[in-house]
Structure 1
Amino acid sequence: MNRFALLTLYRSLTRHKLYAALNIGGLAVGIAVFLVLALYVRFETSYEKWLPRHDGIYTVQTVWNLPESPFNGAFPWTMGGLLDQMREDFPGTVGTRFRGGEGSGSVLRGGIAVSEDVAQVDPSFFAVFDLPMARGNGRGAFRTPTNAIISESAARKYFGSSDPIGQTLTIAVDSAETYRVVGVFRDVPKNSDLKFSILIPLPRTPPSENWFNWGSTSVQTFLRFDTRAAARQFEQKLGAFVDRRGLKELGEDASKTQQLELLPIDQMHLEPQGQQSASRKMTVVTLGIVGLLTLLIAIINYVNLATARAGLRAREVAMRKVLGADRRALISQFLGEAILTVAIAAIIGLMLAELSLPLVNAAGGLSMTIPYALVAPALVVLVLLVGIAAGSYPAILLSRFPAAAVLASARAPGGGRAGTRIREALVVFQFGLAIAFTIGTTVLVAQTRYVRQTDLGFNRQGLLVVRSLGDSLIDPAQKRAVVAAIRALPGVSDIAVGNSAVGGSGENSSDNVPLPGVAGPGPSLRWIVVGPRFFAVYGSRLLAGRLFDDAHGADDAKQVAKGAARNIVINRRAISTLGFRSAQDAVGKTVGGERPRTIIGVIDDMRFFNPREPNSATYYLHYRQPEEESAPVASIRYAGDPRAVLAAVRGVWQRMVPQVPFNGDTADTRLNTFYEADDRATRLFAIGAGLAVLIGCVGLWGLASFNTARRIKEIGIRKTLGASSSDIVKLLVGQFLRPVLIANLVAWPLAFVAMRTWLAGFEDRIALSPLYFLAASAVAIVIAVLTVLAQSLRASRAAPAWALRHE
């Protein structure tokens, strides 16, 4: 472009400042949204790719297929002794186990426990993971059972600026032991599900009695292969391996009940677990599509406005041709102007993305940065493509018009009926996507609010959960003493202990319950151990029968003789699962085959777990001393300020068991962890929807501006012939609203299919009411009317004489 072309572009932009701001701003916002969401998708798909040679690491998944089990599906966990058996059957297997991780241990300093992400691993850990080291050498470190490797952050935290190599730490997992630091590794980045700051060797004695039980899942098992073909070949042998090794616990054809699969470690983050029909992958894909569609809307809007306004420059083109400009020069000018304008928008969009990243990172706990080495070339390509698309209309079409015909014409050419239809089609597409976004946002907000407010079967207000009661460093007598001390606190009205609590705390266990007269092992039910007053603390609703009490000896499952029937309480979901017609019909019945269980009561369902997981059939066992069982969790009913009560409970804990970090939260805090991903997706989706509507309105404004400018003389003639201002307004608004109304035909099917798919991930969900569609369309219509009304009013109020003389 020469300096005259640049001067023309400058005059065009400064003469129509509002048009230039809206056109460039709309595209810049679209580019910024696309960049931020693209970086989010890139971050979510980059998990574990920070590991050197990550493409050779596979996690072993346990895949359950049990009748009506709450645990069906694939889980990246295995029994503890799986790797030992694999090495026996497949010599040369390269693998390691990973036990613990986030919040799984503590460091004792001065008798006070500090919670840490401690993981126990095999001596072969560095044969699988090439963990980047800052100090020392990890290979061979874990052959000595008292060696430890810590992160750079942990080294600064515990040793300051001194050299940590050779120094000691008292680390507690199953027991408190002193370890010698022999290495420091680089901090694990945020885009990793392997949360650890301290690595210590797995104990040589299995840490649990279920270590070699094929029904357990206590560790993560990782294998390394040289090639993908080797991994696939190994995976094909796993079916026979499960049948052979799992015969005792799983019976014949064990692989029909439990399979083992290999999953590349870089896919582990986005794979669904269990029966969650919607996973992080769906969220990432959805937000990626939102980013692409927002960019597409912005591009369409820019092209539409650019081509519309270009029609008003037909006489400028004619004058240039009269003054000697040839078609090639005109094409170069218009393409250059368009590319330069898009480049300005791209730079502004990049600035907006850079400014918004800190806010997005803080809100989502992310660590995204803009990789300019990738973004810069992509933006250059985008600028060229959009610039050519936007500039091709004036460059090719307008430069083709004969100069004499244009100058002699009463009005500037605008592309004729075909040009009008193309512009309207673009507006239809824009508003169709914008309305679909609005419908989707409305449904997302309604569903997330419904999940937060729906009845969970218990009173979630005034409830605290203390998960650290299950720490192995506390003996049963201390646990009972802590529970008694908490019960005596002011504001605490009751406390109960079980092996499960709201928020998914504690253990997740299930077993098959054989049914009388029905062949087979029977359906699989979740089972939960509860202590005295557990149901009273939660405010459970009794549907039939009675609850556990001290007057019935068989209520204490610990005291029931072997082979005798234990008393159980079931939930509503278990009624049909066990084949009963009603709650009253279930009371008094005995199920369980060789391990008989007599149903004494039925309670309403209590949803402790993720709302995306189906609420499972459950039975409850009663232990009078639940503190003696594994993984006990305390549930506390209180009144008053939750912060004051939580502080008082923490004070009791730190006074009585300072060797264990306190881990307690309100029930609402625990439940919020289930809602965070959907809340984040809803916010991002809402931002995309709002910006899509805004950009669509800019496009509609451009179309209205273009059409109104071209119809000034027509309006003057209509008013001369007796048309009132209101008649003119109705005519213009009606014509401008036509593409918006047609856009609903595009939006409604898209939104219906997308929202039905998303809602299918929730067992308890709202109905996809037509009101969401009608409300979104009404909002779009109102916004569209307000967008074009000002121009229509201004055009209708013009004096006929001025309109007829208008050029």
Structure 2
Amino acid sequence: MNRFALLTLYRSLIRHKLYATFNIGGLAIGIAVFLVLGLYVRFEASYEKWLPHHDQIYLVQSEFKWSNSPFTGAYPVTMGGLLEEMKQDFPGLVGTRFNSGEDGGSGSVIRDGVATPEDIGQVDADFFKVFDLPMVSGDKTQALADPSSIVISRSAARKYFGGADPIGQTITLAFDAPANYRVTGVFEDLPKTTEFHFSILARLPKTGPDNWHNWGSTSLNTYLRFATPEAARAFEQRLPAFTDRHGLRDMGVHASRQIGLPLLPLEKAHFQPAGPESASRKLTVVTLGIVGFLTLLIAIVNYVNLATAQAGLRAREVAIRKVLGANRRTLIGQFLGEAVLIVALAGVIGLMIAELGLPLVNAAGGLSLVIPYTIVLPGLSLLVIFVGIAAGCYPAFLLSRFPAAAVLASARAPGGGRAGTRTREALVVFQFALAIAFIVGTLVLGAQTQHVRMADLGFRREGLLIVSSLPDSGLDAGQRSALIAAFRTIPGALSVTTSDSAVGGGNHNRAEKLTIPGRPDAGPSLRQISVGADFFRTYGPRLLAGRLFDDAHRMDDATGLKWEDPRNIVINRKAVTALGFRSPDEAIGKTLSGNGNVPRTIIGVIDELRFFSPRLPTDPTYYVNYREASPNPIATIRFVGNPRAVTDAARTLWLKTAPQTPFIAETGERQLQKFYDDDDRAARLFGIGAGLAVLIGCVGLWGMASFNTARRIKEIGIRKVLGASSGDIVMLLVGQFLRPVLIANLVAWPLAYGAMRTWLAGFDDRIALSPLYFLVASLLAIFIAVLTVLAQSLRASRAAPAWALRHE
């Protein structure tokens, strides 16, 4: 473009400031939303890609193929001794095991006699052959050669040693018992785009628990490294035969029909571990990526709409330039250049908006996004060229085809005729269809997230403190009993209980297949939860039939019983249906056969207790009672009063009894909040994108209303001369402007219904997709549209007929 074309563009923008503001502003907002949501998608998609050779690392999964079991599916954990057995059959296999230290579960650091929970990962000596972590100091090839050596992160080195060189220093860690370890290496802090959580790496013990070589058990993560994807696939094809050989003792002939060992590429583990949580995460990322793209598309459509509406205002300019010798190719080049420049200006403003709005988005979404300018600027440049050409093509070709003689001879500027009007209306329909679909999505997301927060979980979620560190291996049975007794003395504590599953999850998953005598089928597999004294008093589930455990019935207490001994159980409502009983009352007194024909007598039926994610279905469950503490106990304290005071009191008692074991506790509400965080973030980000998409759609509607109103000034004057009132004019104009908005509902409703039905399918407990959400969204869109065009309609209706008839 030469300087005369630039001057023409400048004068056009200055002459029509409002059009220019809406054109550039709409594009800027669309680009800003696209950038921010694109950064979010990039952040989620980059998990583990920071790691050198990440594409060569595979996670071994345990895929349970049991029918009618709550644990059917693939899980990212294996039995502890799997890698050892693999290396027996496949010499030269490169792999490592990893015992996660997330939430301080595998160890603690002891300083001045007090244990502090730390993210400690226990690994094999070959860990660095699989995970090539960037090192700050130390030789990674020998860093874990000695069982008493550890490597720590840069932050941990600063935390425990200050500015001193940590290499060769000792630190006391506690797993089963405290021991001193020597620091042999320092690695860089892990980025936020990783599923790993460790600041210290120590060696796994040579011998693990008794069940480390029990097929069907799950203890830790197993990772393998292969040079090529083909090598990984070839190895995976040999695993069924390997499973049949080694699983024969525990799972019988054809063990591979009961358990598989699929390999999952490390870079996919963020989206594809077991369970609906990962599916939800993937769906959320895809959804927000689509929202960003569609918001940009709406902004492009808005630009095209306003540019075509404004094209008539430049028709005489085009005609005069043609008379002076400009050809159509020159005009097209000019207008495409103008479009690219306008988009470039919008891109700069959009980048500024994204930078200014990113702290708000991070706060709303609980994120830590930053704009990587080395990547964003080249990408934005390509986006500017693409959007400029895409958005400028139609206006450029429309303007360049105006015949000079017809334009100069006409008393009014051309507007594209009926085809141009229909095109602009179609663009508004498209914009508002997406905007209404976004409104529906925002309403449904908000309603569902509120529903899971307020849904009946079978217990009162307020006033619970969950002490998840009670099963720590550093505690003995006497210390656990002392702590449970001490917790009962806390001011405000109403009851204290233990169980191997509590609010927020559990530390032990066990299922048992129960058979009803006299029925030919094997029966369903029920989740088993072991509970201690006062469990049902603490959680207060609704008793549907029968009775709860008590001390008067010997078979109610499983303490000291052998596995084959008969015992009483309590089941939940879901188990009643799974076992084939018509009602809870029918189940009472029935004796079932467990594994090995062990008798299990049902004494009570309770309503479901939802300890786990709202995306997970409630499992058919039976409860086994232990008079004092359950095996693998998690403590639950029911209290009244200030949660902080109760937590501090529990911590004080813990430090008196077991100072060398870390105290880890959360309120029940905070434990449940972890399940809601991802969906809350998605709802907030979706709402932000939807709101801005609606705003851009309103800009497009305003542009169409402004253009059509300006072209109908004489018509309005004639109508007023013939007796039409200002109210009649307003109703006429508003009605015509709302027509594309009403048509947009026909497009928006099916889109929104399909999208929201897919999203809600990820929840076991979900709201009904009521027509009310669609009606509210449509009414809201209509209300916004009326406000958008009302001011122009009122202004046009108040114009004096004499002025309107003289208007050109």
Q: How does the TM-score come out when normalised to structure 1?
A: 0.97
**Equivalent residue number for residue 465 of structure 1:** 466
C-alpha distance in 2, partners of 1:596/1:643? Answer: 45
Q: Report the alpha carbon displacement of residue 386 of structure 1 after superposing the two structures with TM.
A: 2.3
Contact 1:277 1:761 in 2 (8 A): no
**Equivalent residue number for residue 134 of structure 2:** 132
- The letter of the residue matching 1:606 is L
**Equivalent residue number for residue 492 of structure 1:** 493
Q: Report the alpha carbon displacement of residue 743 of structure 1 after superposing the two structures with TM.
A: 0.5
Q: Report the alpha carbon displacement of residue 520 of structure 1 after superposing the two structures with TM.
A: 5.7
- The letter of the residue matching 1:792 is S
Contact 2:365 2:682 in 1 (8 A): no
**Equivalent residue number for residue 169 of structure 1:** 171
3-state SS, counterpart of residue 100 of structure 2:
strand
**Equivalent residue number for residue 694 of structure 2:** 693
- The letter of the residue matching 1:347 is V
Contact 1:530 1:626 in 2 (8 A): yes
Q: Report the alpha carbon displacement of residue 164 of structure 1 after superposing the two structures with TM.
A: 0.1
Deviations for 1:190-214, whole angstroms, at most 9, x for unmatched residues?
10001111000110121x2211111
Provide structure 1 residue ranges, at least 5 long, that are not aligned to the other structure.
Answer: none
Contact 2:730 2:794 in 1 (8 A): yes
Q: Report the alpha carbon displacement of residue 290 of structure 1 after superposing the two structures with TM.
A: 0.9
C-alpha distance in 2, partners of 1:476/1:320? Answer: 94
Contact 1:307 1:390 in 2 (8 A): no
Match of 1:109 among 108, 111, 118: 111
C-alpha distance in 2, partners of 1:587/1:454? Answer: 28
**Equivalent residue number for residue 69 of structure 1:** 69
3-state SS, counterpart of residue 610 of structure 1:
coil
Contact 2:323 2:404 in 1 (8 A): yes
**Equivalent residue number for residue 603 of structure 1:** 606
Moved more, 756-765 or 562-571: 562-571
Moved more, 674-683 or 654-663: 654-663
Q: Report the alpha carbon displacement of residue 394 of structure 1 after superposing the two structures with TM.
A: 4.2
Deviations for 1:428-453, whole angstroms, at most 9, x for unmatched residues?
11100110011011111111101110
Q: Report the alpha carbon displacement of residue 242 of structure 1 after superposing the two structures with TM.
A: 1.6
**Equivalent residue number for residue 639 of structure 2:** 638
Describe the shift of the 1:600–1:275 C-alpha distance in structure 2 as closer, same or farther (beyond 3 A): farther
C-alpha distance in 2, partners of 1:365/1:719? Answer: 57
**Equivalent residue number for residue 261 of structure 2:** 260
Contact 2:481 2:629 in 1 (8 A): no
Contact 2:364 2:685 in 1 (8 A): no
Contact 1:277 1:612 in 2 (8 A): no
- The letter of the residue matching 1:200 is A
Matched, 1:98 2:98: yes
Describe the shift of the 1:519–1:258 C-alpha distance in structure 2 as closer, same or farther (beyond 3 A): farther
C-alpha distance in 1, partners of 2:431/2:287? Answer: 18
Alignment of 1:311-330 (within 5 A): 311-323=312-324, 325-330=326-331
**Equivalent residue number for residue 332 of structure 2:** 331
Alignment of 1:207-218 (within 5 A): 208-218=209-219
C-alpha distance in 2, partners of 1:331/1:562? Answer: 85
C-alpha distance in 2, partners of 1:399/1:717? Answer: 33
C-alpha distance in 1, partners of 2:188/2:220? Answer: 23
Matched, 1:626 2:629: yes
**Equivalent residue number for residue 616 of structure 1:** 619
Contact 2:361 2:685 in 1 (8 A): no
Matched, 1:149 2:151: yes
C-alpha distance in 2, partners of 1:395/1:760? Answer: 46
C-alpha distance in 2, partners of 1:169/1:33? Answer: 48
Matched, 1:795 2:789: no
C-alpha distance in 2, partners of 1:239/1:528? Answer: 32
**Equivalent residue number for residue 60 of structure 1:** 60
Deviations for 1:167-208, whole angstroms, at most 9, x for unmatched residues?
0011112322110000000111110001111000110121x2
- The letter of the residue matching 2:792 is Q
C-alpha distance in 2, partners of 1:107/1:364? Answer: 33
Matched, 1:282 2:283: yes
Moved more, 563-572 or 247-256: 247-256
Contact 2:308 2:398 in 1 (8 A): no
**Equivalent residue number for residue 651 of structure 2:** 650
C-alpha distance in 2, partners of 1:227/1:457? Answer: 50
Q: Report the alpha carbon displacement of residue 317 of structure 1 after superposing the two structures with TM.
A: 2.1
Moved more, 314-323 or 495-504: 314-323
Q: Report the alpha carbon displacement of residue 326 of structure 1 after superposing the two structures with TM.
A: 4.4
Describe the shift of the 1:654–1:231 C-alpha distance in structure 2 as closer, same or farther (beyond 3 A): same
C-alpha distance in 2, partners of 1:125/1:362? Answer: 36
Contact 2:31 2:351 in 1 (8 A): yes
Describe the shift of the 1:544–1:699 C-alpha distance in structure 2 as closer, same or farther (beyond 3 A): same
**Equivalent residue number for residue 18 of structure 2:** 18
C-alpha distance in 2, partners of 1:425/1:799? Answer: 32
Deviations for 1:262-292, whole angstroms, at most 9, x for unmatched residues?
0000000001513558431111111111111
Contact 1:272 1:281 in 2 (8 A): no
C-alpha distance in 2, partners of 1:367/1:275? Answer: 25
3-state SS, counterpart of residue 468 of structure 1:
coil
- The letter of the residue matching 1:60 is V
Deviations for 1:692-745, whole angstroms, at most 9, x for unmatched residues?
111100000001111111111121222222222122111111111111011011
3-state SS, counterpart of residue 196 of structure 2:
coil
Contact 2:58 2:225 in 1 (8 A): yes
Describe the shift of the 1:234–1:187 C-alpha distance in structure 2 as closer, same or farther (beyond 3 A): same
Contact 2:364 2:684 in 1 (8 A): no
- The letter of the residue matching 1:45 is A
Deviations for 1:507-539, whole angstroms, at most 9, x for unmatched residues?
222222233234464321111111111000001
3-state SS, counterpart of residue 142 of structure 1:
coil
Describe the shift of the 1:205–1:194 C-alpha distance in structure 2 as closer, same or farther (beyond 3 A): same
Q: Report the alpha carbon displacement of residue 454 of structure 1 after superposing the two structures with TM.
A: 0.6
Q: Report the alpha carbon displacement of residue 576 of structure 1 after superposing the two structures with TM.
A: 1.4
Alignment of 1:425-574 (within 5 A): 425-519=426-520, 521-560=522-561, 563-574=564-575
Deviations for 1:359-402, whole angstroms, at most 9, x for unmatched residues?
44455454433233332232222222222233334433323323
Deviations for 1:756-802, whole angstroms, at most 9, x for unmatched residues?
11111111111111111111001001110110111111111111111
Matched, 1:78 2:81: no
**Equivalent residue number for residue 251 of structure 1:** 252
Describe the shift of the 1:118–1:357 C-alpha distance in structure 2 as closer, same or farther (beyond 3 A): same
- The letter of the residue matching 1:805 is R
Matched, 1:158 2:160: yes
C-alpha distance in 2, partners of 1:253/1:353? Answer: 57
Contact 2:172 2:180 in 1 (8 A): yes
Contact 2:304 2:394 in 1 (8 A): no
Moved more, 331-340 or 118-127: 331-340
C-alpha distance in 1, partners of 2:527/2:536? Answer: 17
Q: How does the TM-score come out when normalised to structure 2?
A: 0.97
Contact 1:70 1:614 in 2 (8 A): no
3-state SS, counterpart of residue 738 of structure 1:
helix
**Equivalent residue number for residue 125 of structure 2:** 123
**Equivalent residue number for residue 182 of structure 2:** 180
The percent of aligned pairs where both chains have the same amino acid is 67
Provide structure 2 residue ranges, at least 5 long, that are not aligned to the other structure.
Answer: none
Contact 1:120 1:200 in 2 (8 A): yes
3-state SS, counterpart of residue 635 of structure 1:
strand
Q: Report the alpha carbon displacement of residue 25 of structure 1 after superposing the two structures with TM.
A: 1.2
C-alpha distance in 1, partners of 2:101/2:519? Answer: 43
Describe the shift of the 1:716–1:553 C-alpha distance in structure 2 as closer, same or farther (beyond 3 A): same
Alignment of 1:604-753 (within 5 A): 604-626=607-629, 629-630=631-632, 632-753=633-754
Q: In the comparison of the two structures, how many residue pairs are matched?
A: 804
**Equivalent residue number for residue 203 of structure 2:** 201
Contact 2:435 2:690 in 1 (8 A): yes
Describe the shift of the 1:412–1:690 C-alpha distance in structure 2 as closer, same or farther (beyond 3 A): same
3-state SS, counterpart of residue 213 of structure 2:
coil
3-state SS, counterpart of residue 357 of structure 1:
helix
Deviations for 1:276-326, whole angstroms, at most 9, x for unmatched residues?
584311111111111111111111111111121122221222233445544
Matched, 1:221 2:222: yes
Deviations for 1:662-716, whole angstroms, at most 9, x for unmatched residues?
2111111000000000110011111111111111000000011111111111212
